Chains A and B, each alone.
Chain A
Amino acid sequence: MTNREIILGRVREALKVAAPHPVLRDSLAAAPAATPQKWLPPVGQTMEAQIELFRQNAEALKVEFRVCANVTEAIQHVKKLAAAGGWKKIGRQRGELTDPVARELSLLEVPTDRGYAVDDLESCDAALTECEALVAQTGSVLVSAPSAGGRALSVLPPHHVVLARRNQMVPDLTTALLRVQEKFKDRWPSFLSFISGPSRTGDIERILVLGAHGPKKLTILLLP
C-alpha cells in the first residue's frame, strides 16, 4: 500500500460515520449561508466609491496611495521619492507602465524579468512593479510573478512602488480572485500575493514596527 492509499483509506473509513451539520446544530443560526459578499464589509458600487474606500484602507495600512492624472504626474512623484530616499539603484520589471517611469528616473537598474543575481537585487533601494488588481474592500494590491517581476522583487528592496490602472480596481477579494481565474485559466503562475501594506511585525510587546523583513514603504500610484 502506498502512503497515499494508507491515508485516503483512513479518511474513507473515518467518514463512514456522518458528523452533524454545523448550521443545523445551532438553532439560533442566521439565515442559510450565502456567498461571502453578503457578510463581509460592504463596498460601494461606483468606481469613485471604490477608489475612496481603497484610499481609506490604504491610509490605515500606512500605504502611500495617490491618484495620478497621467503618467507625467506619476513620474514626478516617483522622482520625488527617489530624491528623498537617496535611491541609487532600483529593481524593476519591464512593462507598459514601468518602462516610461524607469526611463525618466535614469538610475542604475536591476531588471528581474529574465533572472537576476540575488545580491544585486538585495542592494536595490526600491522596486518598481505593476500588478494584477487593487482591492477596494481591503486596500490590497494583488501581484503575480508575471505582473511583478517574479517573487522577490516586490518583497526584497525596502521601498515597493506599484503602478496600476483604474480598470484594475476591483471591489473585493472575491472579484479579484475571479479576475485572475478568468485571466490565467489553467495556466496559473506559481506565485500570487495579496499585499496589504508595508511589512510589519508586532512580535515585540505587540508594538507595531514596519519593515520587518519586507519593504518598509509601499507606494501605490493609480493611473487612468
Chain B
Amino acid sequence: MFSCKDVTRLVSESMDHSLPLGKRIGVRVHLLMCKFCARYERQLIVIREAVRHLAATVEKPGETLSEEAKERIRKSLRNP
C-alpha cells in the first residue's frame, strides 16, 4: 500500500512520464479512498493549467524593456 507521501510523489511523476501499471493502479486506488491526495492531484493540474495561461500573457501588453535597455540595444545593433 502506498502512503500519502508516496502518492504525492507518484502523482507528480505521472505528470512527466507514464507510470508502470502496478504503480498506476496503486495510485488510482489510493486516490479513490483519500480525499486529501485526490485534492492534491486536482490542485497540481490547476497549477499546470494556470502556468499555461501565465505563459500566454506574454502576448499581451504588460512589462516593457526599460528605455535605457532599448537605447543600449539600438546602439549595439547600429555597431554590431
Q: Do A and B come from one complex?
A: no
